[in-house]
Amino acid sequence: MALRLPGLDRLRDRYDVVIIGGGPAAFSAAIYARRFGMVTAVVADRIGGMLNEAGVVDDYLGLPDTPASKMVKLFYSHAKKYGVDVILDTVTRFRREGDHYVVETRRRRRTLARALIVAIGTRRRRLGVPGEDRFVGRGVSYCAVCDAPLYRGAEAVAVVGGGDSALEAALILSEYAKKVYLIHRRSEFRAQPYYIKQVRERPNVELVLNSVVVEIRGDDRVRSVVVRDVRSGELREIPVRGVFVEIGFEPFREWAVENGLEVDEEGFIKVNEWMETNLPGVFAAGDCTTMWKGFRQIVTAAAMGAVAAYSAYNYVVKVFGSTLEQR
């Protein structure tokens, strides 16, 4: 989704709080931070985060049936209304210097922050099978919302996965391709019943259960996917034009560890109920954290962002006496 954003900002020298990330957790944190009177920046490599890949959102309070792209614009303009600086960049690292954090970005910018909120979300897990890397952008996709229209009229495509996003992808693709194979390694889906019911009722979605992808084949682009039945070991080659990988998400473990954040065994940033991390003045929020791990939603990310901002404010007032704006 190409989002037009009016006026991205320049990074100032100093902030009360720098929020790293651009999804619902980050924007919610930003709005609350400004309401607490903190000079606030959001530094994000993508405005909207995972919402850029979602279709229509129908489970966020007060906004039924809302295109995710519209939600992103609403979040952004809400933050701008409060005077949040929004900077399009990637934070490469941060380190403690005295009582501040020095934040460094890929575009070689630098700023000082009294507190940090890490809201970096997660990234898509890959299959790790032969052909996957070779055909990325030539039939292998990780975003059904973005790429489904490219498969209008295609004979067949495959979706791999068994959670909400896989089933949502299968539903979206069934509107474009003549046939969708939904490949899942187990016999049951772990998606919400709402999606399972719709997928089962869709006549052009064929379920390929108890099966794992072992190879993606093609020439200049994807031509087929090879699956193995996990019970019989039998191999089956299914002709498809596209393979949509929807097997979940994993945290940015290396980034967190390199910046001194304590993570759990999977790599999620450890937080307590006030979104405090192991580092003083560094808070974390949203999908990147250990909080509510089995249930990742916009509303949960937004809630964590609000709590993180509250905690950051209390920290700034305790350590510095007041916010930069109140000086």
Ligand X SMILES: Cc1cc2nc3c(=O)[nH]c(=O)nc-3n(C[C@H](O)[C@H](O)[C@H](O)COP(=O)(O)OP(=O)(O)OC[C@H]3O[C@@H](n4cnc5c(N)ncnc54)[C@H](O)[C@@H]3O)c2cc1C
Q: Which of 45, 104, 215, 229 binds ligand X (CB under 6 A)?
A: 45
Among 30, 85, 20, smallest CA distance to 306 is for 30
CB of 106 to ligand X, least distance (A): 8
Q: Give the other-Cβ count within 10 Å of 292's Cβ.
A: 14
**Residues 170 and 182 sit within 8 Å (Cβ to Cβ):** yes
Residue 9's SS3 state is coil
Degrees, nearest 5: CA angle 163-167-168: 115
Output 238 or 303, the one with its CB closest to ligand X. 303
Q: Which residue in 3, 59, 149, 187 binds ligand X (CB under 6 A)? A: 59
Residue 57 or 240: the one with the smaller Cβ distance to ligand X is 57
Catalytic residue among 9, 45, 143, 229: 143
- In the complex, the smallest distance separating the C-beta of residue 168 from ligand X, rounded to whole angstroms, is 6
Q: How far is the CB of 40 from ligand X (least distance, A)?
A: 15
Rounded distance, CA 211 to CA 200, Å?
18
Q: What distance in Å separates the CA atoms of residue 255 and residue 252, rounded to the nearest whole number?
A: 6
- Considering the rule CB under 6 A, would residue 261 count as an interface residue with ligand X? no
State yes or no: is 288 an active-site residue. no
Of residues 288 through 327, those in contact with ligand X by CB under 6 A are 296-299, 301
Select which of 16, 147, 164, 287 is catalytic: 147
Structure tokens at 108: 């070689």
Binds ligand X (CB under 6 A): choice among 32, 39, 53, 247: 53
| Minimum separation from the CB atom of position 278 to ligand X (A) | 18
- Of these, 17, 31, 39, 54, which contacts ligand X (CB under 6 A)? 54
Stretch that binds ligand X, among 8-16, 117-125, 205-213, 229-237 (CB under 6 A): 117-125
Q: Does 119 bind ligand X (CB under 6 A)?
A: yes
The verdict on 120 binding ligand X (CB under 6 A) reads: yes
Of residues 53, 88, 89, 46, the one with CA closest to residue 68: 53
The answer to whether 204 touches 145, Cβ cutoff 8 Å, is: no
Q: Does 57 bind ligand X (CB under 6 A)?
A: yes
Residue from 165, 224, 259, 323 binding ligand X (CB under 6 A): 165
The answer to whether 146 is a known catalytic residue is yes
Number of residues that bind ligand X (CB under 6 A): 36
The token pair at 57 is 């959102």
Q: What is the DSSP string of 148-216?
A: GGGGTT-S-EEEE-SSHHHHHHHHHHTTTSS-EEEE-SSSS--S-HHHHHHHHH-TTEEEE-SEEEEEE
219 catalytic? Reply is: no
Asked if 117 interacts with ligand X (CB under 6 A), we say: no
Nearer to ligand X by C-beta: 5 or 226?
A: 5
CB 236 within 8 A of CB 227: yes
Nearer to ligand X by Cβ, of 195 and 313: the residue is 195
DSSP alpha helices (H): ranges in 36-90? 68-81
In the bound state with ligand X, the residue whose beta carbon lies nearer, of 89 and 218, is: 89
- The nearest distance, CB 39 to ligand X, in angstroms, is 19
> x/- site string to ligand X, residues 24 to 43, per CB under 6 A?
xxx----------------x
- Whose CA is closest to 284, among 12, 14, 17, 9? 17
Element (H, E) at 29: helix 24-35
On whether the CB atoms of residues 281 and 315 are closer than 8 A, the answer is yes
Nearest to 313, CA basis, from 7, 6, 19, 3: 19
Active-site positions read 143, 146-147
Residues of this chain that bind ligand X (CB under 6 A):
20-26, 43-46, 49-51, 53-54, 57, 59-60, 90-91, 119-122, 165, 168, 252, 255, 286-287, 296-299, 301
